[in-house]
Structure 1
Amino acid sequence: MRDARWKYLRSRGLALILLLACPPVFSDDSIINRIEALQAGHPVTVLDAPILAKEALTRFYELREFDLAWDSYNARRQLAQAISEVADQGLNPLDYHHETIAALALQPTDQVEEEVRADLDLVLSDAFLLLSSHLQAGKVNPRTIHAEWTANRQDLETHTVLAQALDTNSVYQTLQQLKPSAPAYQKLVTARRTLTALLGQPWHELAATPTLRPGDNDPRIPEIRRRLALLGDIPSADHDRPAAYDASVESDSYDDELLIALPAFQARHGLEPDGIIGRQTFAALNRLPVERIRQLDASLERWRWLPDDLGDTYLLVNIAGFEMTMVRSSEEILRQRVIVGRPYRQTPVFSDRIRYLVFNPTWTVPRKLMIQDQLPIIRSDPGYLERMNFKVYRGWGADRVEVDPATIDWHTLSANNFPYQLVQEPGPMNALGQIKFMFPNQYDIYLHDTPGQALFGRAERTFSSGCIRVERPFELAEHLLAGNSNWSRANIDRAIELRDPVNAMLRTPIPVHLQYWTVWVDQSGVIQFRNDIYGRDQRLIDALRSDPQGALMPTPRRP
């Protein structure tokens, strides 16, 4: 055993004199052998469990000179309990060696067979290291799902966290503290438990035709009523539970009760709340409970990608929910509808800080939009540029020269021949409206006003070229400038009247987080579902369902 330890330590470059002066206490050879195999890049399986936290595991045992770490029965019990509960977080207990730990680790220490103690120690450490990383930063690396996704993942020295948890006998508590602390995350966890209770319910597919309207009679209606009751859209006297379906009520009439419940169901699924049960509403009613749970799991994972501290005051834009909120000292102080990018010009996910506002902004049209959007309009409508208050420049920067658009043969221009720049002057027709909110970033994305206010009335609002249009920009501006005494609402109005661009610097930059959640729980405790407008959910769901070695879990079938 000394030979094996010496070989390992020598490979790490430690001096012989230190080894002779301070000979280590040797433990089971198998730990050293396993670590050497991991460092050599070989797959290591112990007690039928693949060891995956390679770097953290190596560092952990190096620092403790390869002594066994899990002699405490209480520590093993705490880890087993934490692993058994992770399904509530949208994670799979099997990823953390649940079966092996449940079978072996919960025996009293003196009953664990000597020949498996070292291997069990490795399995326990690997499970903790994996779980702590996944709870704190997510199981899935967001960039492996979407290249444009910039998450604020924070590195965690999990080997240090494990050592401290064992030293303080706080394995379970430590893992709980690594979960996101945001109330919105905990609300999703609670909602997941509610949906899990529906997994045993029959959920046969309802035919999507013909469309149903109030007053209609149809044999599908009793099943619709049952589902609305189970999903909580038909309330019960006990507000903590969905209404129990009364099997004796077999009426196939679209009655007043359904007329109240259906628009509420439609609204919380991002549909027009018209009470008409058409294809989209049937699709929402037909969604299996397990499909809802997996969609919710994607939202839980996206929360784990965020830093735990979003800021004392911050803006949060939910792209998939078409909504922006402003939070101060954990209290929501503002909520507005927003318009986001079209599916082919998606609004990216990232965080930054709003540093200044621009009143009466100009709009310098990005080159891609000049070619793809503006050029076809200019060709078909010669008066467009003048009517919309555009100026045309040849060249860029300080050397650009204004050109009369009437002198340009627009039909000869193309992506390879477009030496012009289009700049829309401030005014009521400006595409950015009267205010834009700047947080300079690599995507050239910002929040702004819009003259197209009618679009905020749509249920699904994907109309922009990537930037985010805000429903009530002046209200947002007042909140952002509240700490700047020289920017009262009267001063804002005077700046607007100037009709020239005016910058208003924020005394303290405000964090803004652009995120993408298709499931969340609102302030009233109602779970909200939205369409996956950019098709981002499925790849993430598949990655979450994969075991740590990449095998995809089977998909349940509709009964």
Structure 2
Amino acid sequence: MRLVDLRRVLMAGAASVVLGLTGPLPAQASMDMAAFRQAVAEAASDDAAIAEFYRARDYAPFWTSAEAADRRAALLTAFSQASAHGLPAGRYDPHALIATFSDARTLRAIGRAEVAATRMFLSYARDIHSGVIEPRRVVADIKRQIDRPEPGDLLAGLAAADNPGVFLRGLAPRSPEYARLLREKMRLEQRIAEGGWGPRVPAGTLRPGQTGEAVVALRNRMISMGYLARSAAASYDVALQKAVQAFQLDHGLEPDGIAGAGTVDEINVAPEERLKSILVAMERERWLGNDRGDRHVLVNITDFHARIIDAGEVVFQTRSVVGKNVNDQRTPEFSDVMDHMVINPSWHVPRSITVKEYLPKMQANPNAHGYLQLVDSRGRVVSRGAVDFSNYTARTFPFALKQPPSQANALGQVKFMFPNPYNIYLHDTPSKSLFAREVRTFSHGCIRLGDPFDFAYALLAAQTDDPKGFFAARLASGRETRVDLEQPLPIHIIYRTAVTDPKGRMQYRRDVYGRDAAIFDALQAAGVAVLPVRG
């Protein structure tokens, strides 16, 4: 057998043969392959994982042999579909890879092309598996730990795969949510190609019974978005009112059927802007990974709801209040494990709140907020009369503040704990009126629940036949009581402006902290493309 004349072989398509090596090599061929191996070693030398991979296989070709045709074809197919996943396709352009091999005229050049293909594969695999960007570098309040696959594991997995195409497709998130977002992305792109949703609605507020050009524009927009069957009616009739209500429900708005200023603003959002939300949601889904727990708690900050998910179904949900949109009070994003609740909790006031909010008030009036106990470093309650608050600054104040259990406690009568470095937890609150608001950004960062007792019952049902009685007995004692969860469950605090329900219907929410805008800018800077925005 002989060494194929590589200079005559051009990679014209996915199944093209770049390098064919079979049988024993003559002396000259062995010398030529030494040049190939040397080129691979040099090209891989600055990446420990790639260098180890080729060293372990004695620098044999992984992509550039005749035997690698299926692997090469699968890689090129995956690259050609990268933009469909909202990835920066320029990083792994199949035409660029073909050109790289076509331009290689010597074995040394092909060795360098071999390593270039490996680098492109690893870049693609990392991006589609666990995200294009490092979220903390874009938004400091995204504390999520990203599960990045090891390069050596990716290469070993592909090398062992009987079907390279199946392996490469399996790198994308396997969640139903990702599949639904992918379908919605394609649907939106098709709608944009067909002209979008038509003219904007030129009005501030429209109500049932009205007529006129603005009502016609509203009707046409609802038809284009799929909320209303085609009709020539010119009035704001019952059918249009129901369409507006359905739109409001899908966008987290008060479903009153009136197209007020907030509703009209959301109706007038261009499909290209919604597509950006989809692209960001797909990236966020990649960060979250596949192992979420069959039963878990899910809090979507932008949606102002907390839910318990069991086998993909929502088995409980309640309204929530999240952090204010100011520095140091926005609710962070992360995942953890909820392992206990505290009934009749004390509120240990965070240090930042103590010195920024309460110390100045106590300096002006030592008895301000008298329901808060002053506690020293040994946990002893100190009389306020024994302290001259004017002697201290925010840095030197040596005391902590604590609010004992009571119905008026800032944490209400129960809190749900998943110990974390950010001091974030879910809890009750005496401020019930805030749950009636449409936008609920009022806390210092923790998550307040609208129905905390029912949430507790849902958790306790896994370990007692009488969750209400169990909870009520401990609540009635008035004592602070820790209750461990016999089956701790993961909790995921997420931030999604685009999310689907199990039937695939899209839900959109406002970007209350501006995080998605920052993430989209980072994705675009990385090379993720979106269609130009129209009005």
Shorter-normalised TM-score: what interval?
0.7 to 0.9
Contact kept, 8 Å, 1:362 with 1:425, in 2: the verdict is yes
Contact kept, 8 Å, 2:89 with 2:528, in 1: the verdict is no
TM-score relative to the length of structure 2: 0.83
Matching residue within 330, 333, 342 for 1:349: 333
Matching residue within 421, 444, 450 for 1:471: 450
Matching residue within 513, 524, 541 for 2:492: 513
The whole-number CA distance in structure 1 between the counterparts of 2:396 and 2:160 is 68
The whole-number CA distance in structure 2 between the counterparts of 1:318 and 1:466 is 13
The residue correspondences of 1:215-234 to structure 2 (distance < 5 A) are 215-234=209-228
Paired residue for 1:403? 383
Q: Could you say if the C-alpha distance between residues 75 and 532 of structure 1 is closer, same or farther in structure 2, counting changes exceeding 3 Å?
A: same
The whole-number CA distance in structure 2 between the counterparts of 1:397 and 1:139 is 48
Contact kept, 8 Å, 2:318 with 2:451, in 1: the verdict is yes
By how many angstroms is 1:381 displaced? 8.9
Q: Could you say if the C-alpha distance between residues 329 and 555 of structure 1 is closer, same or farther in structure 2, counting changes exceeding 3 Å?
A: closer
Matching residue within 410, 414, 424 for 1:445: 424
Matching residue within 455, 468, 471 for 2:434: 455
The whole-number CA distance in structure 1 between the counterparts of 2:303 and 2:31 is 58
The residue correspondences of 1:498-537 to structure 2 (distance < 5 A) are 498-537=477-516
Matching residue within 160, 176, 187 for 1:194: 187
The whole-number CA distance in structure 1 between the counterparts of 2:136 and 2:395 is 32
By how many angstroms is 1:446 displaced? 0.8
Paired residue for 2:520? 541
1:84 matched to 2:86:
no
SS, match of residue 503 in structure 1: strand
Paired residue for 2:349? 365
1:100 matched to 2:71:
no
The residue correspondences of 1:48-197 to structure 2 (distance < 5 A) are 54-70=47-63, 71=66, 72-101=68-97, 117-118=110-111, 120-197=113-190
SS, match of residue 214 in structure 1: coil
Paired residue for 1:424? 403
Contact kept, 8 Å, 1:270 with 1:529, in 2: the verdict is yes
Contact kept, 8 Å, 1:129 with 1:159, in 2: the verdict is no
Query: For residues 461-492 of structure 1, what are the alpha-carbon distances to aligned partners after superposition, in whole Å with 9 as ceiling and x for unaligned?
Result: 11111111122222222232334349742121
Q: Which moved more, 1:313-322 or 1:57-66?
A: 57-66
SS, match of residue 324 in structure 1: strand
Contact kept, 8 Å, 2:272 with 2:533, in 1: the verdict is no
Paired residue for 1:291? 273
SS, match of residue 396 in structure 1: coil
Contact kept, 8 Å, 1:357 with 1:438, in 2: the verdict is yes
By how many angstroms is 1:97 displaced? 1.9
By how many angstroms is 1:83 displaced? 2.2
1:305 matched to 2:287:
yes
Q: Could you say if the C-alpha distance between residues 222 and 175 of structure 1 is closer, same or farther in structure 2, counting changes exceeding 3 Å?
A: farther
Letter in 2 for 1:86: A
Matching residue within 208, 216, 219 for 1:214: 208
SS, match of residue 546 in structure 1: helix
By how many angstroms is 1:335 displaced? 1.9
Query: For residues 115-142 of structure 1, what are the alpha-carbon distances to aligned partners after superposition, in whole Å with 9 as ceiling and x for unaligned?
Result: 7754553443233211111122111112
Paired residue for 1:496? 475
**Which stretches in structure 1 are left out of the alignment for 5+ residues?**
1-22, 41-53, 237-244
Number of matched residues? 500
Letter in 2 for 1:363: W
The whole-number CA distance in structure 2 between the counterparts of 1:287 and 1:65 is 57
Letter in 2 for 1:36: E
Letter in 2 for 1:402: V
Contact kept, 8 Å, 2:199 with 2:221, in 1: the verdict is no
Q: Could you say if the C-alpha distance between residues 286 and 63 of structure 1 is closer, same or farther in structure 2, counting changes exceeding 3 Å?
A: farther
The whole-number CA distance in structure 1 between the counterparts of 2:85 and 2:245 is 30
Paired residue for 1:44? none
Q: Could you say if the C-alpha distance between residues 60 and 286 of structure 1 is closer, same or farther in structure 2, counting changes exceeding 3 Å?
A: farther
Contact kept, 8 Å, 1:433 with 1:450, in 2: the verdict is yes
By how many angstroms is 1:290 displaced? 2.1
Query: For residues 372-430 of structure 1, what are the alpha-carbon distances to aligned partners after superposition, in whole Å with 9 as ceiling and x for unaligned?
Result: 334566689998635xx43233x2233x343146x767788753564443221211111
Letter in 2 for 1:98: P
The whole-number CA distance in structure 2 between the counterparts of 1:25 and 1:452 is 80
By how many angstroms is 1:145 displaced? 1.4
Contact kept, 8 Å, 1:27 with 1:68, in 2: the verdict is no
Query: For residues 151-188 of structure 1, what are the alpha-carbon distances to aligned partners after superposition, in whole Å with 9 as ceiling and x for unaligned?
Result: 23224233443344244342221122122222222221
By how many angstroms is 1:503 displaced? 0.9
**Which stretches in structure 2 are left out of the alignment for 5+ residues?**
1-28
Paired residue for 1:281? 263
Q: Could you say if the C-alpha distance between residues 485 and 557 of structure 1 is closer, same or farther in structure 2, counting changes exceeding 3 Å?
A: closer
Contact kept, 8 Å, 1:60 with 1:160, in 2: the verdict is no
By how many angstroms is 1:24 displaced? 8.4
Letter in 2 for 1:558: R
Paired residue for 1:324? 306
Q: Which moved more, 1:407-416 or 1:173-182?
A: 407-416
The whole-number CA distance in structure 2 between the counterparts of 1:379 and 1:208 is 54
By how many angstroms is 1:447 displaced? 0.9
Contact kept, 8 Å, 1:450 with 1:469, in 2: the verdict is yes
By how many angstroms is 1:55 displaced? 4.8
By how many angstroms is 1:432 displaced? 0.6
SS, match of residue 332 in structure 2: coil
Identical residues among aligned pairs (%) = 32
SS, match of residue 96 in structure 2: helix
Letter in 1 for 2:416: F
By how many angstroms is 1:287 displaced? 2.1
Letter in 2 for 1:397: R
Q: Could you say if the C-alpha distance between residues 181 and 86 of structure 1 is closer, same or farther in structure 2, counting changes exceeding 3 Å?
A: same
